[in-house]
Amino acid sequence: MLDLGAQLAARRRELGILQQQLADAAGISRSTLHTIEHGGTGVRWEKVVAVADALGLEMTFTQR
């Protein structure tokens, strides 16, 4: 299974959106988006949710 950052990056590429365009749409810096896409640490959860929202994705959690 892909990690969350890789899934977001794959969706961005699927839509043909540049990192800067997505960062602008999500209200974050391009460097923060890069960190998210590459599985970096120290990123606030709200920013990850903003990226998913800008990509038209809904984040849900299910019990295993």
Residue 48 lies in a domain: yes
pLDDT tens, residue by residue, 33-54:
999 999 999 999 999 999 999 9
pTM value is 0.90
The set of residues, in sequence order, having a beta carbon less than 8 Å from that of 40 and lying 6+ positions away, is 5, 34
pLDDT tens, residue by residue, 8-25:
999 999 999 999 999 999
Which CATH number does the domain housing residue 48 bear? 1.10.260.40
Q: Which helix (H) or strand (E) holds 36?
A: helix 30-37
Residue 8 lies in a domain: yes
In the prediction, which pLDDT does 2 show? 59
Give residue 36's domain range.
Answer: 4-54
Contact indicator for 4, 12 with CB cutoff of 8 Å = no
Mapping DSSP onto H, E and C, the string for 9-27 reads: HHHHHHHCCCHHHHHHHHC
pLDDT at 1 over 50: no
